[in-house]
Amino acid sequence: MAYAGKSTVGPLLARSLLLQFLDTDLLIQAGERMTLQALIDTRGVSEFMQLEERYVTSLDCRGFVIATGGSVVYSHRSIAHLKNLGPLVYLDVPLQELESRLHGMGTRGLVMVREQDFSALFEARKPLYAGCADLTVDCAAMTPEAIAREIARGLESVR
């Protein structure tokens, strides 16, 4: 989910596991030379999601910790591809904690229906994340470092 800390925890986890880190949002922005929000504004949500799927399904990297955009969960092809690369981890952060981190939501590049607020987006995505995760980490009130350690421990039982 947006604001869950994927781009903060990912590099910490990668470093602890001696792996490389890849953030697909940054990959898309670099490849398209536009921010996610600009892509959504100019091309629309549907085309952005197709673009995201194309980038994610073209990844050919093992030995990486990959942070994806939260909307990747809408693409069955992307999820299947990512599962082939390794276990999927869901950072389960309570809604109240996510809402306390909200800033720049209108410029963040969130894939959501216009009438949808953040809590509705959270409720819609939560079961999708839980359903595809190989490992769920309850991140309530945890530091990024503690989350990375918890994921590393959890991955030992998933492998």
Domains detected in the chain: 6-158 (3.40.50.300)
Q: How far apart are CA 9 and CA 89, in angstroms?
A: 11
Residue 149 vs residues 17, 44, 55, 82: alpha-carbon distances, Å: 10, 38, 29, 22
pLDDT computed for residue 109 by the predictor: 55
Q: Which pLDDT does position 5 carry in this prediction?
A: 93
CA distances in angstroms from 66 to 10, 26, 32, listed in the order given: 7, 11, 19
Residue 64: the pLDDT is 96
pLDDT at 141: 87
Residue type, 101: R
At residue 11, the pLDDT reads 97
pTM: 0.89
pLDDT reported for residue 158: 77
pLDDT < 50 stretches in the chain: 107
Predicted pLDDT of residue 102:
77
The pLDDT, as a whole number, for residue 157 is: 85
